[in-house]
Structure 1
Amino acid sequence: MMTTRIVFLGGFLGAGKTTLMNRLATELTGSGSTVGLITNDQGEALVDTQFSRSRGFQVAEVLKGCFCCQFNDLLLSARGLVADHAPDFILAEPVGSCTDLQATVVAPLRSIYGDEFEVAPLMVLVDAGGLLEAAPDPETLNGYLRKHQIAEAEIIVLSKSDTVQAGDLPRLRDLIRTFNPPAEIITYSAVSGEGTKQILDAVRSARRSEHAPVDIDYDRYAAAEAELGWYNGTFRFVLPPQTDSYSIALKIMGYVSSHYGDGDLAHVKLLLTSEKNALKMNLVNGNVNVDGVKGSRYGEGEATLTLNARVVSSPDKLSEIMRAAVKLALGAPAVDVGSFEDTCFSPGRPNPTHRITG
């Protein structure tokens, strides 16, 4: 029986996992390989899934919980991709606030389903700029979670390297090694493409995950996840001709930023599609970036706005602010929302389906 190689791309919210996953998928398909993607979220209505599908990739979703707590859904999604598309590679992106992947996802796949899946070394993305600004402090809940993500990685992708000075990189590598001395570290920039070849080499190689699980305090892990408000919303409306999609998106991001400190904004993602165009934008630590554009900046006709926000906030406050941001942004072009649905919550305590530590 042939096995399918599965690559997990972990890392904290806003580290660039989705951008890297789509880049790897593009490179792999361009060289003749077939690829399937698996996205993951605590809720529903994912920007990442819609964006990846719009680029022509086969995408499965694991929703309403992380891979560890929804392991059976992960397995069904992976098997479904294999049955329907026979991919050479499956690229899987876990929830950004998830850790303990070695014990709860990688080890079960290796030991129970090794005849179906070949698990690549666990990759974890670490935002170079974020690391330079604030190293993980294990005494804080957020720092404890980020430190554990680094500690269990086999390959660490130091992402967004273009956002720091070249002279800072050796210090960042040394800092990473204080948490995980043996890990391979690859410096990567989505802007310049630096590091893409090394990451692809690791994906294509015959190397398998061999890392032992790292001890974790589940009480602290649960508390770290519960700090975040988790908002997902979908809004539908009709845009007048020549409506500036950038202006709408920037107004939403600006309004959200004005109500929270930069350190509270783990990640806000936005996808605005219309009959004429599509725009994907994200907000991390107060910085706005455009992730993808299809067509021009001007939208028209039936449109859908999908919002995902992960913010240190009470769910009630976050929901109120996100709805107000949309209302404000659509007020200038005088657009009435035809319909919408949204949810906002704090994640519950992780309850893994499997946990193999031996």
Structure 2
Amino acid sequence: MKTAKLVLLGGFLGAGKTTTMINSALKLEEQGYRVAIVTNDQGKELIDTELARKNGLDTKEVTGGCFCCQFEDLYENLTGLLEEKQPDVIIAEAVGSCTDLAATVIQPLKQYYSEQFKTAPLTIVVDPARLMHELNATDETRPSFSQSVSYIFEKQLAEADIIALNKLDRYSSEEVEKLYNYLQQRYPQTVIQTISAERGDNLDVLTETWLTTDLGGDKVLDIDYERYAEGEAQLAWMNILGDLSSDQDVDPRQWAESFLDKLNAHFIREKMAIAHLKVHVGLEDGYVKASMVHTGDEPTFTEENVQNAKQLRVVLNIRIEASPAILNLVVADAIGALNKELGTKWNETYNECFSPLPPKPVHRLYEVI
């Protein structure tokens, strides 16, 4: 029977898990390994899944809940990939508001399905800005997460076998060293690996550890599930799919910039803390993708074959601490204001906006295998 190495990637929203997953997969494929991936989200219409497929990766997704609550769906997707694609490595990216992965995902896989999957060390990707914010080292005038949301972030770090401190290309060596030392001191039994998923720095070291280590996923924590559920309930999840149309050509970059400026102004005024925001604007063969992980920050842009057009497809994913009702109003207001300014029309074909239900894992194993 074919056995695959299974890499479970966790980490808070906006940490760069998707970039880590895609670029690590591409690096492994360059080395001759066959790689497949599984994305995960509370909702549907995911930019991450589409980006993975555009990079030529065999991709499946688990939606409607985290891996722990959708364990059967996860297992079905994993075995489907194993049978259809026969990968050497499967990288599975857990939803960003999920923790307790060691007890609810890795230990069940070890106990029940060890003949099919050899698990790599549980890897938690971390955004330095998020960590600095949690340490009160950033501008206190920006909206902050509530204690219940921060609880999820803290537990993610505590259960990690590897903490991948990401985005080192955006910070000074002194800042990275300070955070590295803090993490090493606080989690002495955890491997701290600095990476730049975007640029590829140290991904070879990370992937080598995945391939050569079977130990991991053994830090089964005491989790206060009421507090965990409260943290998830504080977050609003929005996924929107829509079409822009105009009598004149529309610049996708300009539209995205103007849209995010309006959203950011609303979020600052309403003290809504962004966890992660992604907007994808374009056509089948060209797009602009913008991403934000903190309210008040400048968005980061990725562009490919960008073309002005009279018809553009927009996909919007937002994860933010706010009520779904308020978030819907804010987004509708921003789109409506842009329609007036640019003379565009908006046809929304999909909209979901909700707060996650309390986590109810299918398995939770205390005994470490």
- TM-score, normalised via structure 2 length: 0.90
Please name the residue that 2:139 is paired with: none
Matched ranges for 1:1-358 at <5 A: 1-135=1-135, 140-238=147-245, 242-261=249-268, 264-275=273-284, 277-285=286-294, 286-290=296-300, 292-296=302-306, 298-300=307-309, 302-358=311-367
Describe the SS at the equivalent of 1:224: helix
Shift of 1:233: 0.7
1:98 shift after superposition: 0.3
Which letter maps to 1:282?
Answer: S
The amino acid that maps onto 1:256 is L
Query: Shift of the alpha carbon at 1:132?
Result: 1.9
C-alpha distance in structure 1 between counterparts of 2:305 and 2:146, whole Å? 47
Answer yes or no: is the 8 Å Cα contact 1:152–1:180 preserved in 2: no
Judged with a 3 Å threshold, the aligned counterparts in structure 2 of structure 1 residues 14 and 276 are, in CA distance, closer, same or farther, namely same
CA shift in 2, pair 1:111/1:272, >3 Å: same
Report the CA distance shift for 1:132/1:295 in structure 2 as closer, same or farther (over 3 A).
Answer: same
Percentage of pairs with the same residue:
34
Q: Is the 8 A contact 2:99 2:156 kept in 1?
A: yes
Distance in 1 (alpha carbons) for counterparts of 2:301 and 2:360:
33
Instruction: Tell whether the 8 Å contact from 2:243 to 2:312 is kept in structure 1 after alignment.
Output: yes
Deviation at 1:211, TM superposition (A): 2.0
Q: CA deviation at 1:239?
A: 5.6
Preserved CA contact (<8 Å) 1:315 1:346 = yes
- Conservation of the 8 A alpha-carbon contact between 1:240 and 1:333: no
CA distance in 2, matches of 1:54, 1:142: 32
Task: Tell me the CA shift for residue 210 of structure 1.
Answer: 4.8
Equivalent residues, number: 357
The answer as to whether partners of 1:228 and 1:310 remain within 8 angstroms in 2 is yes
- The residue type paired with residue 25 of structure 2 is A
Would the aligned equivalents of 2:37 and 2:57 in 1 still touch at CA under 8 Å? yes
State the Cα RMSD in Å: 2.2
Measure, in 2, the Cα distance between the counterparts of 1:111 and 1:241. Answer: 60
| Superposition deviation, residue 204 in structure 1 | 2.4
Asked whether the 8 Å contact 1:46–1:308 carries over to 2, the reply is yes
Distance 1:133 1:210, change over 3 A: closer
Letter in 2 for 1:271: H
Is contact 2:19-2:198 (8 Å) kept? no
After superposition, give the CA deviation of every residue in 1:229-257 in whole Å (9 maximum; x if it has no partner): 11111002446675211111112211211
Distance in 2 (alpha carbons) for counterparts of 1:158 and 1:68: 24
- Contact between 2:23 and 2:200, CA under 8 Å: does it hold in 1? no
Q: Report Cα offsets for 1:143-197 as digits up to 9, x if no partner.
A: 2111100000000000112333211233312322354221000111235432222
Question: Aligned pair in 2 of structure 1 residues 319, 210: CA closer, same or farther (>3 Å)?
Answer: closer
Going from structure 1 to structure 2, the CA distance change for 1:247 and 1:351 (only over 3 Å counts) comes to same
Closer/same/farther in 2, CA of residues 340 and 210 from structure 1, 3 Å limit: closer
Shift of 1:25: 1.6
Shift in alpha-carbon separation, 1:166–1:316, aligned structure 2, 3 A: same
Structure 2 Cα separation of the partners of residues 289 and 4 of structure 1: 37
CA distance in 2, matches of 1:204, 1:212: 20
Change (3 A) 1:20 1:329: farther
Q: Which amino acid aligns with 1:208?
A: L
Amino acid of the structure 1 residue aligned with 2:82: V
Question: Counterpart of 1:287 in 2: which secondary structure?
Answer: coil
The one-character-per-residue Cα deviations of 1:266-296 (angstroms, maximum 9, x if unpaired) are: 1111112315511221111133444532202
Q: Secondary structure at the match of 1:109?
A: helix
Structure 1 counterpart of 2:141: none
Q: Which amino acid aligns with 1:141?
A: S
Is the Cα contact below 8 Å between 2:100 and 2:156 reproduced in 1?
yes
Unaligned runs of 5+ in 2: 137-143
Deviation at 1:87, TM superposition (A): 1.1
Separation in 1, partners of 2:8, 2:341: 42
Please give the secondary structure, in 2, of the residue aligned with 1:9.
Answer: strand
2: CA distance between counterparts of 1:279 and 1:8?
29
Equivalent AA in structure 2 for residue 304 of structure 1: R
Whole-angstrom distance in 2 between the partners of 1:254 and 1:149 = 31
Structure 1 counterpart SS, 2:281: strand
**CA distance 1:321–1:33, shift in 2 (3 Å):** same
